[in-house]
Structure 1
């Protein structure tokens, strides 16, 4: 992109810029129950990139705080959060279809009305579907750390991504990250410390204890028993 100062300039010139993906789409096997859950619940809970910019009050039928989570896996903790906060809207983004099915099955069982999901790339969803200053919290829990040095460029937490999501948060809104990979926690902190318009919620300017609203997963409990750490990082949008 050396000829252009930004991706927007390149697009305006009709030049396509190939993007580095922060995920690998591993489809896995979609169970019958997961497939049924998608078929039954997508009309009421599914969102599409083709809908364009969303009017959240129209989508949920009410005007309350909205939380968006990127990469919710099988959706267990997202559904639990939605259950525990019925006066908050939740949007989940995931690219793996079995996870979408599992999440919708759990949401159906819990009879949730405050959860919607995308099956799409989060970067595109934020760009095309989420209005500026519409989110109260954006969550990124246990993203792929891309351990190998040559793959670090694939980590989703990068300066350009952070500035793109900043505009989607309300002033005072929070970007909450969590990881069980300490080098990635350090990387997240380094990126956020120099990010324009953000302030660390930690009084020590590093990590925070897990907030009550973030459920602790079986995976996390197992890791703690093995002596593995988990790092929560929360930055508030100030500008």
Structure 2
């Protein structure tokens, strides 16, 4: 069922399933404290549509105003506990980073670790990723888009919830600048094959690797998801696609 909440008639509900199920998990005292104390610094305030994690169409942010400067922007979808993006933001101060996640405990942990690491070039948003790409981020504002170990929804009846499906390339291409890079990784072979098929068929993306799979992205630190996959004997597969420039006379998606 699409996520929803009780709202007035001017709001609309989502017309397709989201790639997550929000569970009401309790945060620890430290996470609650981080949420209260650090969210004013790190968490973006956004306008909602019908659902708690939605973005109202026509409500984009200005990255230069958000970060107080103009710099390359990297967006991670499904940042989880924030290990990859906190490491990246704390070691690459000349780049701005945005973590997109729907689970508050993960966002709180990310803020705690970012504060300890002194990462001031990181912001977080509690939202459904396709709506962030379509409604929150200005067209062509993202230099790199990361999708690392998304939920594989491995049961056949649930695969329709997978993020990287035929509708995804259009919203990803909209947010990425011409020449921007989409990086993906998963430990589920059938999802890796689906990702590759979907993006190979997307007219505004071209492979940024040779052979069957991309080499492991050096900027991705080892996370619990990757260790878990390796421990279970699953092969980690990377992909990288470059956002192509539109052909003459063709508009942006």
Q: 2:46 aligns with which of 35, 45, 49?
A: 49
Deviations 1:26-63 (A, max 9, x none): 23220111111111111111112229211111111111
Which residue of the partner structure matches residue 146 of structure 1? 153
Within a 5 Å distance, the mapping from 1:1-239 to structure 2 comes to 18-50=15-47, 52-204=59-211, 206-239=212-245
After superposition, the CA RMSD in angstroms is 1.7
Work out whether residues 27 and 96 of structure 1, in 8 Å CA contact, stay in contact via their aligned partners in 2: no
Measured after TM superposition, the shift of residue 15 of structure 1 is 8.3
More helix by share: 1
Deviations 1:149-177 (A, max 9, x none): 12111111112121111011011101111
Runs of 4+ aligned structure 1 residues displaced above 4 Å come to 14-17
Q: TM-score, normalised by structure 2?
A: 0.84
5+ unaligned residues in a row in structure 1: which ranges?
A: 1-13
Q: TM-score, normalised by structure 1?
A: 0.89
Q: How far apart, in 1, do the equivalents of 2:128 and 2:13 lie? A: 17
For residue 163 of structure 1, give the secondary structure of its aligned residue in structure 2.
Answer: helix
Measured after TM superposition, the shift of residue 139 of structure 1 is 0.6
Which residue of the partner structure matches residue 4 of structure 1? none
5+ unaligned residues in a row in structure 2: which ranges?
A: 1-10, 49-58, 246-253
**Aligned residues, how many?**
225
Q: How far apart, in 2, do the equivalents of 1:121 and 1:218 lie? A: 22
